[in-house]
């Protein structure tokens, strides 16, 4: 399911755009904290490598779904 589909499904169920905005804001804050931690610990190279692997695995799944 794409991000847009998930957003539409959430809005169809709740109809609450403010709740959606809050969830997106909180998730963005969590991601920024994780990125700061990764940089602080000097793990950027490993992080980038894992992201590359995850993207490579996700592309075939996205094409099949």
Which band of pLDDT confidence, cut at 50, 70 and 90, is reported for residue 63?
low
Length of the chain: 65
One DSSP character per residue, 51-63 reads: HHHHHHHHHHHHH
Which band of pLDDT confidence, cut at 50, 70 and 90, is reported for residue 60?
confident
Give yes or no for a contact between 2 and 15, defined as CB atoms under 8 angstroms apart: no
The whole-number average pLDDT for the span 9-31 is: 92
Q: Is residue 41 predicted with pLDDT exceeding 80?
A: yes
pLDDT tens-place string over residues 28-40: 999 999 999 999 9
Q: Is residue 57 predicted with pLDDT exceeding 80?
A: yes
Measured between alpha carbons, how far is 37 from 55 in angstroms, rounded to an integer? 21
């Amino acid at each position: 399911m794409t991000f847009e589909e998930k957003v539409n499904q959430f809005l169809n169920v709740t109809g609450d755009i403010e709740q959606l905005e809050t969830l997106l804001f909180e998730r963005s804050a969590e991601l920024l904290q994780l990125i700061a931690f990764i940089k602080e610990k000097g793990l950027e190279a490993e992080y980038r490598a894992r992201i590359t692997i995850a993207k490579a695995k996700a592309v075939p799944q996205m094409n099949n779904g």
